[in-house]
Amino acid sequence: MLRASVLRLLGRPGASGGARLLEYSGPRHYSSGPLGARDDAGGARAFFTTPIFYVNAAPHIGHLYSALLADALCRHRRLRVPGAAATRFSTGTDEHGLKIQQAAAAAGLAPTELCDRVSAQFQQLFREAGISSTDFIRTTEARHRIAVQHFWGLLEARGLLYKGLYEGWYCASEECFLPEAKVTRQPSSSGGSCPVSLESGHPVSWTKEENYIFRLSQFREPLQRWLRGDPQAITPEPFHRAVLQWLEEELPDLSVSRKSSHLHWGIPVPGDDSQTIYVWLDALVNYLTVIGYPNAEFKSWWPTTSHIIGKDILKFHAIYWPALLLGAGMSPPHRIYVHSHWTVCGQKMSKSLGNVVDPRTCLDRYTVDGFRYFLLRQGVPNWDCDYYDEKVVKLLDSELADALGGLLNRCTAQRINPSGTYPVFCTACFPSEAGLVGPSVRAQAEDYALVNTVATLPRQVADHYENFQIYKALEAVSSCVRQTNGFVQRHAPWKLSWESPVDAPWLGTVLHVALECLRVFGTLLQPVTPSLADKLLSRLGVSATERGLGELCFLPRFYGHPCPFEGRRLGPEIGLLFPRLDQSRAWLVKAHRT
Ligand code: MSP
């Protein structure tokens, strides 16, 4: 964890050097108004970020998952608070450091060539996967060098950097120093043994250098105050607790540069070309570069920022980054949302095991919306999740093709809805008060339960998004889809006749209620399956301006209000909403055999 590497100081150990630390002055206040207007960051703007991705290898499904979580949060927020100026969303590639320098050398490429090639792969993947980012940053851009060097200058001016001899195990793959306790020995091909990182198994090497060192040890209390004052700063809660626990342990100062003779692929320390800035400091500042730092415009987006990160990079985001920010006179980010990892058939994904899952193949096989739905429905931030092909097919066939697609088909098919309209809701058949009896009353207790559940669904979904439990939001929608299918099954509209004056009002009501439920599901699925939701809402005749959460008023006729959809023509026929990915697909048969 955060135990010290051997650290001998040439500078004055632990001296503050006149450092001015920004005291964290307690939590900000968050408003919680009605669903549409709710703004968790307490301001009009929100800024979401993904980690920036290393370009040493092609993207895999874990990377796509990080980006999808951020995309879904961001899209959900846009549904609540519309307007391009209100939400910003950045992603990008992390292109400096020893890891990239070594990968380029191994591939016989110049580092810039490798960076251009792999960064383009990430950009293409994200375009194809519908990642709705507003900014893509590459750390090799000139604007980023300016931002990093400016940030460095601030730390220096505030007395937070000093020169010292830094000695310890360095893992190029993780780009960090490791304490002795995190290093083990592995048999090497030459018959001896080589030191590797206990956690990742990647090689480590002993490094002893004079570097610039950041006075991280002085930030223990400000960090503790920040986290204790804002229990949701790191979400989900177990990660918040883990960081507080780390802060109880040793917190040594942090080496923030490398000798340029050893690491040339990076940003030089201002005024000292013999040193290159540590890649993690360089990478973290990307979050400021994209919002215009060091120009004052960045202040309108900072600190209303939510970082989405994997658990492996929690220490960098929850300890180093907030400490660096406080050191530079800024506030920590608003939220750090943490997710766990994907394994494949029970194993960690790795090039050496040859089990890396290519996300573009998955998007082709399962469709963009299908694969987005799978990853977000099955991915649980609190613990690792396992990937295998049959699991995807089973989930998509049952929830998107059969349950949701089937429900839409049941309510819109020509046979059952020959007029192709949103039918009229009959209050006499479905009075707003449960338990009434009368000749025209047809609604039963379970029907009232359905209406209540769907009415509260948008709020439930919003709460799950806020707690970074998107899979729970999808679980709740899926459960309501099942309940709505049960409602249709119970009343078997196909047995009712439009010709019968007794049946017709109730038949219309059953279809109206089911279509209203579908409208809610389509609206709530937009952040996860944007094209499928668009197809569904278009089929229901819901226009682009009627798809926000502020406009989502479920079943108004039941509550005594007019319904703008009643009597409206449905949209054009769309065929199957989501075709089944049945077992006959050639690739699946092949996957079974191997
Ligand atoms: N470059 C750093 C981040 C710097 S941010 C200032 C980095 N890059 S990475 O490419 O290794 O990882 C990017 C993201 O992908 C991280 O959030 C990481 O957790 C995530 N994933 C990498 N492998 C993963 C899985 N197997 N499963 C899920 N996410 C995984 O770290």
Q: How confident is the model at residue 179 (pLDDT cuts 50, 70, 90)?
A: confident
What pLDDT does residue 18 have? 34
What's the confidence (pLDDT) of residue 144? 98
Task: Please give the Cα distance from 178 to 3 (Å, whole number).
Answer: 8
Given a contact cutoff of 8 angstroms between Cβ atoms, the answer to whether 18 and 262 are in contact is: no
CA of 341 to the centre of ligand 1 (A): 9
Cα 93 to ligand 1 centre (Å) = 11
Q: State residue 583's pLDDT score.
A: 55
What average pLDDT does the segment 103-112 reach? 96
Average pLDDT of span 383-407: 97
Beta partners for residue 7, in sequence order: 166
Confidence of residue 20 (pLDDT cuts 50, 70, 90): very low
Mean pLDDT of the region 42-71 = 94
312 CB within 6 A, ligand 1: yes
Specify the pLDDT at position 36: 38
* pLDDT category of residue 30 using cuts at 50, 70 and 90: very low
Does 98 contact ligand 1 (Cβ within 6 A)? no
Q: How many CB atoms lie within 10 A of CB 34?
A: 10
Q: Does a cis peptide bond (omega within 30 degrees of 0) precede residue 294?
A: yes
Atom of ligand 1 nearest to the CA of 283: 6
Check pLDDT > 60 for residue 544: yes
Half-sphere exposure of 260 (CA within 13 A, CB side): 13
23 versus 507: which is more confidently predicted? 507
Question: Residues 198, 20: contact at Cβ < 8 Å?
Answer: no
Percentage of residues of the chain with pLDDT beyond 70: 91
Residue 219 and residue 251: Cα distance in Å, rounded? 9
Do residues 408 and 514 make contact, with C-beta atoms less than 8 angstroms apart? no
- Given the CA of residue 348, which atom of ligand 1 is nearest to it? 26
Atom of ligand 1 nearest to the CA of 342: 27
Q: What is the pLDDT of residues 417-465, one digit of tens each?
A: 999 999 999 999 999 998 888 889 999 999 999 999 999 999 999 999 9
Asked if the peptide bond before residue 270 counts as cis, ω within 30 degrees of 0, the response is: no
Is the distance from the beta carbon of residue 148 to the nearest atom of ligand 1 less than 6 Å? no
Query: Residue 351: which of 58, 54, 53 has the closest Cα?
Result: 58
Q: At residue 588, does pLDDT exceed 90?
A: no
Residue 404 DSSP class: I
| Choice between 207 and 308, residue whose per-residue pLDDT is larger | 308
**Distance separating alpha carbons of residues 593 and 587, to the nearest angstrom:** 10
Alpha helices in 158-310 (DSSP H): 220-229, 237-246, 279-284, 286-289
Model pLDDT, residue 353: 82
Tell me the pLDDT band of 83, cut-offs 50, 70 and 90.
Answer: confident
pLDDT, tens only, 549-584: 998 999 999 999 999 999 999 999 999 999 999 755
The reply to whether ligand 1 has any atom less than 6 angstroms from the CB of 28 is no
Reported for 572-575, long-range contacts at CB under 8 A and 24+ positions apart, including other chains, are: 572/538, 572/539, 573/539, 574/535, 574/538, 574/539
The CA 50 to ligand 1 mean position distance, Å, reads 9
Cα–ligand 1 centroid distance for 312 (angstroms) = 7
Ligand 1 pocket check: which of 49, 50, 53 to mutate, most ligand atoms within 8 Å of Cβ?
Answer: 53
* Confidence check: pLDDT of 41 > 70: no
Ligand 1 closest atom vs CA 311: 19
502: which DSSP letter?
T
Show Cβ contacts of residue 499 under 8 Å, excluding neighbours closer than 6 positions: none
486 Cα–ligand 1 center, Å: 41
Per-residue pLDDT reduced to its tens digit, 280-336: 999 999 999 999 999 999 999 999 999 999 999 999 999 999 999 999 999 999 999
- The vertex-93 CA angle with 211 and 131, nearest 5°, equals 150
Identity of the amino acid at 324: L
Of 84-93, 140-149, 351-360, 495-504, the one with minimum mean pLDDT is 351-360
Report the mean per-residue pLDDT for the chain.
91
Q: What is the DSSP string of 281-319?
A: HHHHTHHHHTTTTTSGGGGGTSSSEEEEEEGGGHHIIII
Which of the two residues, 204 and 588, has the higher pLDDT score?
A: 204
Residue 569 token pair: 């023509």
Separation CA 216–CA 524 (nearest Å): 43
Where do we find the tokens 């006075």?
Answer: 215
Per-residue CA distances from 102 to 111, 186, 383 (Å): 9, 21, 32
Give yes or no for residue 381 CB within 6 A of ligand 1: no
Q: When comparing pLDDT for 117 and 348, which is higher?
A: 117
For residue 63, which atom of ligand 1 is closest to its CA? Answer: 15
Residues 365-374 have pLDDT tens digits of 999 999 999 9
Determine the distance separating the centroid of ligand 1 and the alpha carbon of 374, expressed in angstroms.
Answer: 19
